[in-house]
Structure 1
Amino acid sequence: MSNFEIGVILPGVGAGIDLREAARHAEDAGLDGVWHGDHLGAPTLDVTVALATAAAATSRVRVGTSVFIPAIRPLAWAAKQVATLQYVSGGRLVLGVGSGGGPGQWAAAGVPYGERGSRTDTALELFPRLLAGERAEVEGSPVEVAPAVPMPPVWVGNASTAAIRRAARLGDGWFPSLISPGQLAEGTKRLTELAAEHGRPAPVVAIGATGALGTGVPSRAEIASGIAGTYGRSVEEVMDIPLTGHPQEAAEKLAAYREAGARHAVVGISGGDWPKQVELLAKVRAILHETH
């Protein structure tokens, strides 16, 4: 495995870019993965259908969920979707998992918002057995999922204390987004301690990032303003988060995350020509590998 992997969020439906061509372009450019989010109410593609399409168009890259929300689905159905995606991708799935989204998304799915954490834990406890083809009791009924597949690595999203605890107990990775290297280092230390208490190895650490490289793209301030508005954070708090400037500058920023414990970055493109941005990200990856 490479010393630091970079994946990219696939373009949305309004980007005017064919999903298959985008996935192939990311693979040909030399990136390590293609990723897609999971939003019930937003104008986006279904995550499992989108990633199955990306998997069919590629042969090497990881296909990852950023992040899959199992608890808004019947849990047996969620396991079936995950198993199918792992099967059709030839075992290339990375299952980023979260329990987010606003109360409206959960209401639309018919799931009480207050149950999101416990249902997520239950899903992660059940998935290894179900994906192995074993019979398990799900919500009072015996269920078997076929075909049996290898369990994909589970990366638990979010930077919260609850997410770190969940990753330490049930995850193969911790996958926080839009945090500083200092926050990542603190979380990684706590993650390692908690995993040891559970008798488990320290999960791998990945970060979710966003940015736009080169010229003629949104500025760092513009991207930071968008992050602040979306997540209810101050602009000052997130000003250093976006990846901007030339590939060397972005590589230096990601190197700080690598020093803090990260081994993967999943990058959302905040503007500019998407294929060109992918090529610039591939240059960032090459610089990181040269400077390891």
Structure 2
Amino acid sequence: MKRLSIGVMFPSSRSAAVDVRACARHAEDLGLDALFTGDHLAATVGTMESTLTLATVAAVTERLRIGFGVMVLALRHPAWAAKQIATLQHLSGDRVILGVGSGGAVHGSRAWEAVGVQYTERGRHTDAALEVLPDLVTGRTTVLPSGVSIALSPGAAMPPIWVGGGSRAALRRTARYADAWFPSVITATAVANGRRELADLAAGYGRPTPHLAVGGSVLLGPTPSPSLLSAATAGLTRYGVPPEIAAHLPITGPPPQAAERFRQYAEAGADHLILGVIGDDWQRQCELIAETRSLSELS
């Protein structure tokens, strides 16, 4: 089996009580490939700002990739987003993965109202930002959607773009702009089907088929807690996942059992797995994820 790149989501729902530096060092010491954080202005739970969190991770690690899971571009002016991304590239030594999303309805309308962006216009704003980001980040003179011309300095290498979401719009956006498709809460079968559609869309833009990065959730160990699994399933349904599918999406059980799920995603075409941890024992779950990755590579 091909080697899956394995990343973990920073426990952002408890971010104010978590030692970012300790989490980053632990993930790197385990040999995991990346640490991602969510990006929210006003969410149902308190979260720390994503670019500052990733800058802290970059400062205490040497190898670990740092990723947005995902940056909601429509909440930011594209020039400021580019300045943040370029700075993170310099601070990290080009380790950034730019996950991008248009934003969902699960957290309500407060963030959109706060920045004066209409929720219904978020897709258009996202596409407009993706058009200009590569030139902005790399320091080339760029004409912004407002018509203003600007060149940012110092420029940096443009990081890979991973477009989040499982919708047709996300597939189209991936095919046109991105290096990888980054859906979450998705079955291996849906990954394989999406990959075929993505290949056709990318060909229409004269581009190679983007890579696949799959977001998932884990609760590893011999006896998964029914109450935690029930809460996790309920959380998935808030993102529109049917309950009968949501109940089977978390990757559970001891590492040998979970390794089979890793292999299923790899066989469906996934190149990367980015895993969120269910429950509070984030460090132990990371250890079990690393063990599962090793077992999945033995086949």
TM-score scaled by length of structure 1: 0.95
- Give the C-alpha shift of residue 221 in structure 1: 4.2
CA distance in 1, matches of 2:23, 2:5: 18
Amino acid of the structure 2 residue aligned with 1:230: R
Distance of 2:141 and 2:48 partners within structure 1:
31
Residue in 2 that maps onto 1:12? 12
Mapped contact 1:38–1:69 kept (Cα < 8 A): yes
When the two chains are superposed, the root-mean-square deviation of aligned CA atoms in Å is 1.6
Q: How many residues align?
A: 290
Q: What is residue 257 of structure 2 aligned with on the other side? A: 249
Are the equivalent residues in 2 in contact too, given 1:211–1:269 (CA < 8 A)? yes
Instruction: Note closer, same or farther for the CA distance 1:141–1:40 as it changes in structure 2 (3 Å cut).
Output: same
- Say yes or no: does 1:145 pair with 2:145: no
User: How far apart, CA to CA, are the structure 1 residues paired with 2:296 and 2:153?
Assistant: 41
| 1:137 counterpart letter in structure 2 | V
Counterpart check, 1:93 vs 2:96:
yes
- 1:217 CA displacement: 4.8
What's 2:128 paired with?
Answer: 122
Task: Work out whether 1:258 is the aligned partner of 2:266.
Answer: yes
**Residues 261 and 34 from structure 1, CA distance in 2 versus in 1: closer, same or farther, beyond 3 angstroms?**
same
Give the corresponding residue for 1:234: 242
Contact 2:223 2:253 in 1 (8 A): no
Does the 8 Å contact 2:89/2:96 carry over to 1?
yes
Aligned pair in 2 of structure 1 residues 229, 199: CA closer, same or farther (>3 Å)? closer
Contact 1:19 1:53 in 2 (8 A): yes
Partner of residue 211, structure 2:
204
- Amino acid of the structure 2 residue aligned with 1:226: A
Instruction: Measure the CA separation in 1 of the matches of 2:237 and 2:6.
Output: 26
- Whichever residue aligns with residue 104 of structure 2, its letter is G
Residue of structure 2 in register with 1:25 after alignment: 26
SS of 1:287's equivalent in the other structure is: helix
Q: Deviations over 1:221-242 (max 9, x none)?
A: 4155333442243321212100
Report the 3-state secondary structure (helix = DSSP H, G, I; strand = E; otherwise coil) of the residue aligned with 1:94: strand
- Residue 106 (structure 1) aligns with: 112
Counterpart secondary structure, 1:166: helix
The range that moved more, 225-234 or 16-25, is 225-234
Distance in 2, matches of 1:13 and 1:210, equals 14
**Contact 1:218/1:271, CA 8 A, preserved across alignment:** no
What residue is the counterpart of 1:84 in the other structure?
87
Structure 1 stretches lacking a partner, 5+ long: none
Partner letter of residue 274 of structure 1? W
> Is contact 1:217-1:272 (8 Å) kept?
no
Note closer, same or farther for the CA distance 1:4–1:182 as it changes in structure 2 (3 Å cut): same
Percent of aligned pairs with the same amino acid: 45
Secondary structure at the aligned position of 1:210 is classed as strand
Deviation larger for 229-238 or 95-104: 229-238
